[in-house]
């Protein structure tokens, strides 16, 4: 039997998408909830991530211990994450355990949200915020996102702030849950050795009674920023410099050219920045990548090096980006990048979990399914002229910059 994409929507609006591969040895499943930091406001900043934690604290039919024990019994791996746009609950298991894992994941998506669990987990979240405050790379990333996006919803912190979490009430979380966790705002994605008819039946049995209600998301484009901020952190051993600039959005087909361009300029091996700064020993890391969100995209560069070499390395990195901006890329570089990216796509596709995330993300962001072959073709079709166009449309010299480390100054 051949690989097959299947889709069905329940009466309450829950969409089920699956890439069924009867030759796979395992299967992966996830509920993608279309909610994240960008859907919050100041009063509930960080609630999406906090709610993700609370989902594992028990349901009307399962204790927290039951949830974790059953996940351990049923899966080879399971977890959840929250970002700016999605909260995802996922698991990989054996095909014969499909009904059980769908029932378990569906059950935890209707959590009890008990007050005592809320109070306990609030302390966990506050400690997590404190932990990341001590980690300059993560801290610089969040600060750069906020600086680049400004008042745009994508500039919101996924974790929230100490103040917002301390003030957050259980009833506010419940209200947020009842606004965002509508079946119309959730996609059940699966890949691997999936029994699609059984998957639909399991979803109908366990999710069919979920009450449907309308949800919405503002998708205004971000206004490009060119700001600078430096934060002295004397306890840091290295200097971290992160830059963010506008790039193609998740719905934009130019995202393929953007990814190839950043691979050429700043991949973690074999790129211009790698050979100029990392291979020479000047910096521990010098890279640039592209990220796509609904309505807006972003380039993000990252430099990590010894503090006394930060200015020289930053200047060198700026020169490399300027050279790419002015001169574009060569045919040889583009072909090498295509081979690297396409090989990564094909190799990752061997794992049902990778395909499940690809299928789920594609549907949540674009309501679109692409096979591995179609995705590879999209990259193969990119030309040098395409990359020239995105460089003109999304220039690399219009970036916001955040520096964190021992350095007191940095010339930008």
Q: Show me where the domains of the chain are located.
A: 4-207, 228-405
Residue 387, phi then psi, degrees to nearest 5: -70, -35
How large is the average pLDDT for residues 52-65? 96
Tell me: the pLDDT tens digits for 354-377?
999 999 999 999 999 999 999 999
Looking at residue 2, what is its pLDDT? 76
Looking at residue 188, what is its pLDDT? 98
How large is the average pLDDT for residues 294-298? 95
Whether pLDDT at 125 is above 60 = yes
Looking at residue 138, what is its pLDDT? 80
How large is the average pLDDT for residues 321-330? 97
How large is the average pLDDT for residues 219-234? 89
Contact (Cβ atoms closer than 8 angstroms) between residue 384 and residue 331: yes
Looking at residue 34, what is its pLDDT? 98
Helix axes of 331-348 and 384-393: crossing angle, nearest 10 degrees: 90
Tell me: the pLDDT tens digits for 65-113?
999 999 999 988 899 999 999 999 999 999 999 999 999 999 999 999 9
Report d(CA 407, CA 405) in Å as an integer.
6
**CATH number of this structure's domain 228-405, picked from the four choices 3.30.360.10, 3.30.1280.10, 3.90.1150.10, 3.30.830.10:** 3.30.830.10
Tell me: the pLDDT tens digits for 1-55?
579 999 999 999 999 999 999 999 999 999 999 999 999 999 999 999 999 999 9
Answer whether 4-207 and 228-405 agree in fold.
yes
How large is the average pLDDT for residues 322-341? 98
Contact (Cβ atoms closer than 8 angstroms) between residue 249 and residue 401: no
| pTM greater than 0.85 (yes/no) | yes
401's CB contacts (< 8 A; 6+ apart) are 144, 147, 227, 228, 229, 241, 242, 243, 410, 412
The superfamily in CATH containing domain 4-207 is Metalloenzyme, LuxS/M16 peptidase-like (3.30.830.10)
Bridge partners of residue 300, in order along the sequence? 244, 289
Residue 298 CA: distances (Å) to CA of 132, 226, 247: 22, 13, 4
Report d(CA 355, CA 347) in Å as an integer.
11
The Cβ-side half-sphere exposure at 202, using a 13 Å CA radius, reads 22
Contact (Cβ atoms closer than 8 angstroms) between residue 399 and residue 301: yes
If you average pLDDT over every residue of the chain, what do you get? 96
Contact (Cβ atoms closer than 8 angstroms) between residue 102 and residue 199: yes
How open is the CA angle 335-338-343, to the nearest 5 degrees? 130
Looking at residue 166, what is its pLDDT? 98
């Amino acid at each position: 039997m051949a690989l097959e994409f299947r889709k069905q929507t329940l009466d309450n609006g829950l969409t089920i998408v699956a890439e069924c591969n009867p030759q796979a040895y395992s299967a992966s499943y996830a509920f993608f909830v279309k909610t994240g930091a960008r859907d919050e406001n100041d009063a509930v900043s960080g609630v999406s991530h906090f709610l993700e934690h609370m989902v594992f604290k028990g349901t009307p039919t399962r204790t927290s211990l039951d949830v974790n024990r059953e996940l351990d019994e049923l899966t080879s791996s399971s977890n959840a994450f929250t970002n700016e746009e999605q909260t995802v609950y996922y698991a990989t298991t054996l095909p014969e355990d499909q009904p059980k894992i769908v029932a378990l994941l569906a059950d935890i998506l209707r959590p009890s949200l008990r007050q005592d669990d809320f109070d306990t987990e609030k302390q966990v979240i506050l400690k997590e915020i404190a932990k990341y405050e001590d980690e300059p790379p993560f801290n610089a990333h969040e600060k750069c996102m906020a600086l680049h996006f400004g008042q745009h919803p994508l500039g919101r912190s996924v974790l929230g702030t100490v103040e917002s979490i301390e003030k957050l009430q259980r009833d506010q979380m419940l209200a947020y849950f009842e606004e965002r966790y509508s079946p119309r705002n959730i996609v059940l994605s699966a890949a691997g050795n999936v029994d699609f008819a059984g998957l639909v039946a399991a979803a109908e049995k366990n999710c069919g009674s979920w009450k449907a209600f309308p949800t919405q998301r503002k998708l205004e484009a971000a206004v490009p920023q060119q700001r600078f901020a430096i934060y002295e952190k004397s306890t840091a051993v290295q200097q971290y410099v992160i830059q963010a600039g506008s790039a193609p959005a998740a719905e934009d087909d130019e995202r393929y050219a953007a990814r190839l361009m950043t691979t050429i300029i700043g991949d973690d091996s074999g790129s211009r920045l790698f050979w100029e700064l990392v291979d020479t020993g000047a910096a521990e890391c010098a890279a640039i990548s592209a990220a796509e969100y609904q309505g807006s995209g972003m380039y993000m560069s990252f430099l990590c090096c010894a503090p006394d070499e930060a200015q020289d390395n930053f200047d060198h990195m700026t020169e490399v980006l300027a050279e790419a901006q002015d001169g574009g890329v060569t045919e040889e570089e583009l072909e090498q990048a295509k081979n690297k990216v396409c090989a990564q796509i094909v190799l990752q596709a061997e794992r049902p979990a990778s395909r499940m995330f690809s299928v789920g993300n594609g549907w949540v962001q674009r309501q679109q399914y692409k096979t591995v072959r179609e995705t590879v073709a999209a990259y193969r079709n990119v030309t040098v002229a395409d990359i020239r166009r995105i460089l003109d449309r999304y220039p690399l010299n219009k970036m916001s910059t955040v520096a964190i480390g021992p350095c007191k100054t940095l010339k930008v």
